[in-house]
Structure 1
């Protein structure tokens, strides 16, 4: 339905679950490798795309970390992020909260400042030239140690006035949220917002740990929360945002097919679900494509789409006043595009 697709693209929305390293397109990978003098284990762009055949999260992470090797300079991080912002602006987003994985880079000898300065410069450029506001979320790699996470938080200290929060990503199974309870407490004391990947491959108990031990403000993914009725009731009662990533779930075999995705059920249960792209270069779609594909697969109504847009702002880390102004924009757009 072209009219539905146009409605989605024009609908003001925010993206809350985007790994900036996961927006590295094969063409960018080759461009950055060329200018940085790095040899890639792929003959061409088509070979890279052919390698994007994942059966699980770990298969994806293996090539994800390999691709990140081409990111070395402030210019690389700036160009990577600005390319993402241009795409997400075309998709109707007016705000984005992006994850970055400093440990992926500092372990290769790239300074934390190099990563941060490049990303922050792109964020400012996106605000002034595209009208897209953004916030930066530092993610700890959960397959590494708590000690390494503390070191990363310490490296971030000069930038904490420009970093909105901390998160937890990478291999979920075998690395429960409880492993990082102390570093999350330290981040909370610094005034940072808290998020964590939980309930993607890990069990509902990981979601409970993220809520109880990490005291997160929102849950990234959270699909498996639906296996626990009491947990669902709690998430609804506490209005905990879930940053759901449909095409990522499909690509990583979290769901067998998009029509079986639980997003519509989440909405009907009263969960504060949102739609996001996760690692769009690897998973086959940026923000609007996730919205459009999911809307078609699940038969989402216009009211449900508006709810998802409102959720994306009420689940964000914008100030209450900023959220209210964004909700007005959503409601005005919906009213102006109501069916005749």
Structure 2
């Protein structure tokens, strides 16, 4: 069996996926027509051509423009289910997806329309595709902590739908410490905590996420590799890192996949997982991230299995559900 074929059938979880970032150009056009929204592109090809950016902020600008077509509960259900169909095709068995409520509520879209649409898509995925999932409410870090608190308050009627909160958007100049109080409030509500840190931001941001936000899972974390004490700590604590290779390449976090830190992370005992981040924009869903990284750095079958195992172990699933998926993984490998 070729390595590509092995990856294709490997049961895995995806832990770092922004649902708005799975908005493919075809669906963007369909929703723009359905909702009578003008978008600054005249064809699917023009949208794809625009998906050429050199840094995080360039990407975010087009990402927020694309989100403008998402207006109704049905739009969010369609968005979610389209992602889950692609995830199921990659044998993703469980996905924990981020959504950015502020991207939508700031445009006047009701919070309930967003959540209820996403949950409907997730329920369909469970029923029709046998893919389980969880929903993570992400705060936009370029906005204020007061606005994050307002979003958490707005979310209260739907809290039972969330497994955790996250922190995303422009990293530079917006350290995790800015959100220390709102993360403490989310923890008090029983939510799991994760945060983007060390993608473009320095190792100091990773320290803040661990020490001040007290996160349960680290999103990205690449620049942890610049700090020996941090590497040792992450390994000792078995902190799960949700690494996104094609995203890192597209946003110039790495200049070449052959220079990606994943092999060294694994060698140093870090709990690495592979994920697609914003796959419509970054050129591939989760299996493509496994395949291209494997080819670029020469991943072994054992390393690939380890990262798939890490993805279930690092999920926020109950232990019984984790055990079930890990048994499925072991059976596949045998």
TM-score class, shorter-chain normalisation, is over 0.9
Paired with 2:244 and 2:211, the residues of 1 have a C-alpha distance of 23
Distance 1:83 1:47 in 2: 21
1:172-217 CA distances to partner (integer Å, 9 max, x unpaired)? 0000000000000000000000000000000001000000000000
Equivalence for 2:160? 161
How far has the Cα of 1:10 moved from its partner? 0.5
**Separation of aligned partners in 2, 1:44 and 1:312:** 37
Secondary structure at 2:196's aligned position in 1? strand
What is the CA–CA distance in structure 1 between the aligned matches of 2:258 and 2:91, rounded to whole Å?
A: 24
Residue aligned with 2:68, SS: helix
Aligned counterpart, 1:173: 172
Partner of 1:248: 247
CA distance in 2, matches of 1:331, 1:265: 25
Q: Compute the displacement of 1:326 (Å).
A: 1.2
- How many Å apart are 1:23 and its aligned residue? 0.3
Return 5+ residue gaps in structure 2 as ranges. Answer: none
Aligned equivalents of 1:26, 1:128: Cα separation in 2: 26
Counting matched residue pairs gives 334
Could you tell me which residue of structure 2 aligns to residue 69 of structure 1? 68
Structure 1 residues without counterparts, runs of 5 or longer = 336-340
What do residues 213-254 of structure 1 show as CA deviations (whole Å, max 9, x unaligned)?
Answer: 000001100000000000000000000000000000000000
Structural mapping, 1:143-222, within 5 Å: 143-222=142-221
Q: Aligned with 2:160: secondary structure? A: coil
| Separation (CA, whole Å) in 1 of partners of 2:83 and 2:290 | 17
Once the two structures are superposed, the pairs formed by residues 105-116 of structure 1 within 5 Å of their partners are: 105-116=104-115
- What TM-score, normalized by structure 1, do the two folds share? 0.98
The within-5 A match list for 1:113-128 is 113-128=112-127
Which residue in the other structure is 1:59 paired with?
Answer: 58
- Displacement after TM superposition at 1:264 (Å): 1.0
Tell me the residue number matched to 1:231: 230
Tell me how far 1:91 sits from its aligned partner.
0.3
Q: Over residues 125-159 of structure 1, what are the superposed CA-to-partner deviations in whole Å (9 max), with x where a residue is unaligned? A: 10011000000000000000001000000111011
Report the Cα offset of residue 299 of structure 1.
0.7
C-alpha RMSD over aligned residues = 0.6
For residue 35 of structure 1, what is the aligned residue in structure 2? Answer: 34
Hey, what does 2:257 align to over in structure 1? 258
TM-score, normalization: structure 2? 0.99
Distance 1:62 1:78 in 2: 24
Q: Secondary structure at the residue paired with 1:165?
A: strand
Q: CA deviation at 1:328?
A: 1.1
Deviation digits for residues 33-54 of structure 1, max 9, x if unmatched? 0000011111111111111111
